[in-house]
Amino acid sequence: MKILSLFQTEEQLVKACQKGDPRAQRRVYDKYASRMNSVCRRYFKDDYEAEECMIEAFVKVFEKINQFKLEGSFEGWIRRIVVNECLMALRSKKQMGNQMSYDDILYEPNPQLPETALEVQDLLKLVEQLPVGYRTVFNLYAIDGYTHEEIAHHLGITESTSKSQLHRARALLQRMIAENDSRLSINY
């Protein structure tokens, strides 16, 4: 009997996980691991670190599965745990360098992304090249939808530092995109 046929709905799958069914846990892992690994890859350049963080997050998912009340998105609930695990891993490794207060920035022009031929995957590769602090805040704000207040709370920084990191990440991305576009136009 296939695992898929055992769990016809997500609710059945979650309830089986809440009872500790290893087949259901395997199904959840198989279903969501690649997507959650992609989330982790946005926070870590190193594939090993990203995978290690994802696995730790899944351990927490199964430890806390009884807290999921079958309301809202199960995948969204898992994603939140994965993002929190990434943040805890970054904090524990003290990789949050390059932090400056937003108030310390006297003047930098507002970054405006130029028209570009970049694909989403190309842009994500550029985001991976950002310094860890910039990348983390950019991911939380621009991709995961956290507010600066939430980011500050999760990272143990001030809201102004979060704003500063985002501002600098955007400015650096703008320069990287411009450089990338100029290289592309030279090759044509």
Contact 170, 162 (CB under 8 A): no
Q: Is the dihedral of CA 47, 86, 158, 75 positive or negative?
A: positive
Name the average pLDDT for the chain.
82
Tell me the CB-side half-sphere exposure of residue 83, using CA atoms within 13 A: 21
pLDDT tens-digit readout, 49-66: 999 999 999 999 999 999
pLDDT confidence bin for 117, thresholds 50/70/90? low
The correct CATH number of 102-187 out of 3.30.1490.480, 1.10.10.10, 3.40.50.150, 2.40.30.10 is 1.10.10.10
> Across 91-100, 102-111, 122-131, 139-148, which has the greatest mean pLDDT?
139-148
Q: State which amino acid sits at residue 57.
A: A
CA 103 to chain centre: 26
Give the pLDDT confidence score for residue 186 in this predicted structure: 55
Specify the fold of 3-92. Answer: Rna Polymerase Sigma Factor; Chain: A (1.10.1740)
Q: Rounded to whole angstroms, how far apart are CA atoms 150 and 141?
A: 9
Per DSSP, helices labelled H in 7-101 are: 10-18, 22-43, 47-63, 74-92
Q: Domain segments of the chain: what residues?
A: 3-92, 102-187
Supply the pTM of this predicted model. Answer: 0.69
Q: Rounded to whole angstroms, how far apart are CA atoms 52 and 59?
A: 11
